[in-house]
Amino acid sequence: MTIYHGMLIRLTAVLLLLQYCQAKTVNLDFNVTWVNANPDGLHERKVVGINGQWPLPVIEVDKGDRLIVNMYNGLGDKETSIHWHGMFQNGTNDMDGPSMVTQCPVPPGASITYNFTIPQNGTYWYHCHTDSCYPDGYRQALIVHDDQAYFNDMYDHELTVTMSDWYHDLIEDIPFIRTENPTGAEPVPDSFLFNDTLNTNIPVEAGKTYLMRLINIGAFVAQYFYIEDHTFRIVEIDGVYVDEQEADTLYIAVAQRYSILVTMKNSTDKNYPIVTVADSLLLDVISPSLQLNQTNWLEYNSNAAHPQAAMKVEISSDLVPYDDMKLVPHDRMELLAEPDMTIEVDVIMDNLNDGAGYAFFNNISYTRPKVPTLYSVLSSGDYATTAQVYGEYTNPFVLGHNAVVEVILNNLDTGSHPFHLHGHNFQLVSRTPSYGPSFQDFADGDPVPFNATENPSSSFPKYPARRDTFVAPPQGNFVIRFVADNPGVWLFHCHIDWHMSQGLAMSFIEAPKQIQERLSLSESHINICEAGNRSYEGNAAASTEDLLDLTGQNEQLPWLPAGFTARGIVAMVFSCVSAFLGMAFIAVYGISGIQSKEDTAAVVTERDGL
Ligand SMILES: *[C@@H]1O[C@H](CO)[C@@H](O)[C@H](O)[C@H]1NC(C)=O
Ligand SMILES: *[C@@H]1O[C@H](CO)[C@@H](O)[C@H](O)[C@H]1NC(C)=O
Ligand SMILES: *[C@@H]1O[C@H](CO)[C@@H](O)[C@H](O)[C@H]1NC(C)=O
Ligand SMILES: *[C@@H]1O[C@H](CO)[C@@H](O)[C@H](O)[C@H]1NC(C)=O
Ligand SMILES: *[C@@H]1O[C@H](CO)[C@@H](O)[C@H](O)[C@H]1NC(C)=O
Ligand SMILES: *[C@@H]1O[C@H](CO)[C@@H](O)[C@H](O)[C@H]1NC(C)=O
Ligand SMILES: *[C@@H]1O[C@H](CO)[C@@H](O)[C@H](O)[C@H]1NC(C)=O
Ligand SMILES: *[C@@H]1O[C@H](CO)[C@@H](O)[C@H](O)[C@H]1NC(C)=O
Ligand SMILES: *[C@@H]1O[C@H](CO)[C@@H](O)[C@H](O)[C@H]1NC(C)=O
Ligand SMILES: CC(=O)N[C@H]1CO[C@H](CO)[C@@H](O)[C@@H]1O
Ligand SMILES: [Cu+2]
């Protein structure tokens, strides 16, 4: 018994040592500055570069490594920060990156050091998380290699491919939240990129199997993905290994990742289109010059033709993507127990009294606090478990340590939204409607909130798929579960950056007492706040005297007086604006958002006539 025990201890020690020896530290210096780029060949523009380069460096680490990124903000005119999308940051919540949530934004001329270990594996990405900065190019893949992945001996080569939407203007120069756009019509991208360029040839060897890591690093538009005459096997979603599952088409919303195994044909007489098609249902106006579909190639033979894709005709009926809810995690983690806490949220888009369009969880449009929420946790002592401290407009929910948390999300909006939770992946336990051609039909009827009688937990999957970004269908709903086993302040938000800027976010303050035990505010983090004249202590209103007094907190604007409708605002705005010749575009922009819900064809016609 004792001998056995002793051996066990020694064995464990050796194993730990092995793991420790293998893990390394990856040190990176990021000097963030503006550079020029022209990825679609249509327009050169200013983009956020790192060390003078764009596309940005792909970060590759091994499971268990420590990543240290020393970032200097050399932009001169913009604050910034980095979020490591999908990283749990277990014990390092202050390295998560969202401004005014876990840190102050880094002002021009200041630096921050991100320093954390990566005990996970799979496909991730990093992006700016201050205001709307990542669509300006500040986003790239982060790959965590794993020498124990179950599919390691099932492929010969590995590839990483990103896809994204792309704007020709700086985000700050694109009008969006404004009276003239009461419906919140999202700016339509100018193009869609494939690995930050277009017309890519991916040279492949006949007969070999490739692990392709696909990442939508876009700001807005989801993309369908398929390869002509090839099927593939899905083996990972958002860092979670799944049992291999054959599929031919994927729907990849912004922030989502898929790893697939693609086995090449034996013949080398042809090259095959890799097709991405932007989900046009998300777009209010589609200009005739916007190329929704892109052809890139699996290049078996550089001398053979590179044919354009013969597109599947109707997206909704022909391009039926694989339903991510059907995937089974390879670790067979079972459905979590009945929740200790259930959070039910309604998603709506509406106007506030400036007439502009905003987005809401339960009537609250997320508004930055005056102190980063994590710092409020660290400076509020026993009050940390009281949600009120974090202010009404961060939409805070305090989660008990190790509680099973269920989020029921009712999407009362006619658009679909990809929701992301920081610090966790979560189980996908229910979604209505389920994937398929009818997904979009829901947009036409009334919203369907979650109904527990019709979808009891006994109908939930035994081994639910897990991921960190999940699409809520138009006017449908979803239910997710996770364990609050990662003390920290974690944002839950729509990953469409436009909607995020409209306030579609809320805060989970997970196990605040345990946060206080594990973390303290470092000198370097305080310096960053001071450099930007921000408070780093007290409640959301920066009060340190009475933590329950939120006087002076940042608030959303008041609601419109009853009786005002978006349609009324458009009419009003249109009559004012039409007096100004050069501004006609803006009026059409706003109006088209409304009409598109009824008749997209009419919008296009109207635009053509302009
Ligand atoms: C960052 O890059 C800019 C432009 O190349 C250079 O002027 C600046 O000195 C660099 N700063 C740091 C801290 O490396
Ligand atoms: C990174 O964090 C580890 C663990 O807290 C610490 O030992 C190390 O000094 C840090 N490195 C830097 C460069 O901050
Ligand atoms: C995609 O771009 C990244 C960064 O430029 C590069 O490292 C990677 O090899 C590219 N992928 C393919 C398939 O060419
Ligand atoms: C390619 O050839 C190998 C070896 O002959 C065979 O096992 C495989 O099935 C072939 N693949 C295809 C797609 O025909
Ligand atoms: C690709 O999209 C463009 C418009 O975005 C369309 O005109 C073209 O017909 C599409 N190509 C195919 C092959 O369907
Ligand atoms: C949002 O406000 C509306 C109108 O005041 C009210 O009917 C509704 O119950 C509110 N919803 C929530 C979830 O608080
Ligand atoms: C939920 O579904 C049950 C069974 O179909 C129905 O009787 C009930 O009215 C529904 N509840 C709501 C709130 O719609
Ligand atoms: C965080 O670490 C604790 C152990 O310290 C572990 O129990 C928990 O599962 C981890 N949570 C996540 C999300 O990594
Ligand atoms: C911070 O405040 C001081 C004094 O009020 C002012 O001089 C300085 O310009 C401010 N700095 C920033 C970055 O706003
Ligand atoms: C977070 C995560 O996905 N971890 C996985 C890493 O890889 C091992 C196997 O090597 C899996 O069991 C984990 O689930
Ligand atoms: Cu959204």
309 lines ligand 5 (CB under 6 A): yes
Ligand 6 in reach of 559 Cβ (< 6 A): no
Q: How far is the CA of 500 from the centre of ligand 11 (A)?
A: 7
Res 372: pLDDT: 98
Nearest to 549 by CA among 396, 358, 374, 391: 391
Check residues 490 and 603 and name the one with the higher pLDDT. 490
Question: Who has greater pLDDT, 469 or 575?
Answer: 469
Cα–Cα–Cα angle for 434, 437, 439, rounded to 5 degrees: 45
More confident residue, 429 or 15: 429
In angstroms, the Cα distances linking 225 to 153, 243, 278, 297, 464 are: 25, 20, 9, 13, 23
Q: How far is the CA of 372 from the centre of ligand 9 (A)?
A: 19
Q: Distance, CA 183 to ligand 8 centroid (Å)?
A: 42
In our burial notation (b when 16+ CB lie closer than 10 A, e otherwise), range 487-510 reads bbbbbbbbbbbbbbbbbbbbbbbb
DSSP H or E segment with residue 543: none
Band the pLDDT of 443: cuts 50, 70, 90.
Answer: confident
pLDDT of 519 strictly over 50: yes
Atom of ligand 5 nearest to the CA of 309: 13
For residue 52, give Cα distances in angstroms to 33, 56, 85, 366, 592: 7, 9, 23, 34, 39
What pLDDT band is residue 562 in, cutting at 50, 70 and 90?
Answer: confident
Q: Which residues contact 108 (CB under 8 A, 6 or more apart)?
A: 73, 74, 75, 76, 77, 78, 79
**Residue 435 pLDDT:** 77
Percent of the chain residues past pLDDT 70, beyond the cut = 87
CA distance 17 to 201: 43
pLDDT of residue 587: 35
CA of 447 to the centre of ligand 7 (A): 14
Q: Which pairing describes strands 505-510 and 396-399: parallel, antiparallel, or unpaired? A: parallel
Residue 567: the pLDDT is 56
From atom 5 of ligand 5, which residue's Cα is the shortest distance away?
A: 291
Q: Quick one: pLDDT at residue 586?
A: 36
Per-residue pLDDT tens for 99-143?
999 999 999 999 999 999 999 999 999 999 999 899 999 999 999
**Where residue 314 falls among pLDDT bands split at 50, 70, 90?**
low
Quickly state the pLDDT bin for 570 (edges 50, 70, 90): low
Ranges 27-36, 181-190, 468-477, 591-600: which has the least confidence: 591-600
Neighbours of ion ligand 11 (CB under 5 A): 417, 494, 496, 499
Which runs of E-coded beta strand occur in 218-363?
A: 223-227, 232-237, 240-247, 250-252, 257-263, 272-278, 293-299, 341-351, 357-361
Q: Which residue minimizes the CA distance to atom 6 of ligand 5?
A: 291
Q: Which residue has the higher pLDDT, 548 or 575?
A: 548
Cβ–Cβ under 8 Å, residues 246 and 195 = no
**Closest CA relative to residue 133, chosen from 269, 244, 34, 24:** 34
482 Cα to the center of ligand 10, angstroms: 17
> pLDDT class for 442, splitting at 50, 70, 90?
confident
Tell me what the mean pLDDT of segment 490-511 comes to.
98
Read off the pTM: 0.90
Least confident of 45-49, 239-243, 263-267, 567-571: 567-571
Residue 291 and residue 293: Cα distance in Å, rounded? 6
Mean pLDDT estimate for the chain? 90
Instruction: For residue 60, give the ligand nearest its CA.
Output: 3
List all residues whose CB is within 6 A of at least one atom of ligand 3.
55, 58, 159-161, 195, 202
How confident is the model at residue 524, as a pLDDT?
95
CB 37 within 8 A of CB 54: yes
Contacts of residue 191, defined as CB under 8 A and 6 or more positions apart, other chains included, come to: 40, 42, 165, 166, 198, 290, 291
User: What local confidence, expressed as pLDDT, does residue 317 receive?
Assistant: 60
Q: Cα separation of 298 and 274, whole Å?
A: 7
Instruction: Taking residues 285-290, report their average pLDDT.
Output: 89
Residue 316: per-residue pLDDT: 57
The C-alpha atoms of residue 574 and residue 568 are separated, in whole angstroms, by 10
Overall average pLDDT of the 325-330 stretch: 98
Q: Is 441 exposed, middle or buried (0-12, 13-18, 19+ CB in 10 A)?
A: middle
Mutate to test the pocket of ligand 2, among 68, 115, 527 (most ligand atoms within 8 A of CB): 115
Measured distance CA(467)–CA(253) in Å, rounded? 12
pLDDT on residue 213: 98
- Of the given ranges (69-83, 360-374, 410-424, 577-591), which has the lowest mean pLDDT? 577-591
- Among residues 77, 69, 81, the alpha carbon closest in space to that of 46 is found at 77
Which protein residue's CA is at the shortest distance from atom 5 of ligand 6? 363
* Residue 126: strand pairing partners: 84, 140
Q: Residue 14's pLDDT is what?
A: 46
Where does residue 51 fall: left (phi above 0), alpha (psi -120 to 50 degrees), or beta otherwise? left
Cα Rg of the chain (Å, integer): 24
The alpha carbon of 252 and the centre of ligand 11 are apart by a number of angstroms equal to: 14
Which three-class secondary structure string do you get for 301-330? CCCCCCCCCCCCCCHHHHCCCCCHHHCCEC
Given a cut of 60, whether residue 563 has pLDDT beyond it is yes
How much distance in Å is there from the Cα of 70 to the middle of ligand 2?
A: 12
Residue 436 — very low, low, confident or very high, per pLDDT cuts 50/70/90?
A: low
Of 202, 131, 70, 179, nearest to 583 by C-alpha is 179
Burial of 457 (0-12, 13-18, 19+ CB in 10 A): middle
pLDDT grade for 441, boundaries at 50, 70 and 90: confident
State which ligand 8 atom lies nearest to the alpha carbon of 90.
1
pLDDT value for 590: 37
113 lines ligand 2 (CB under 6 A): yes
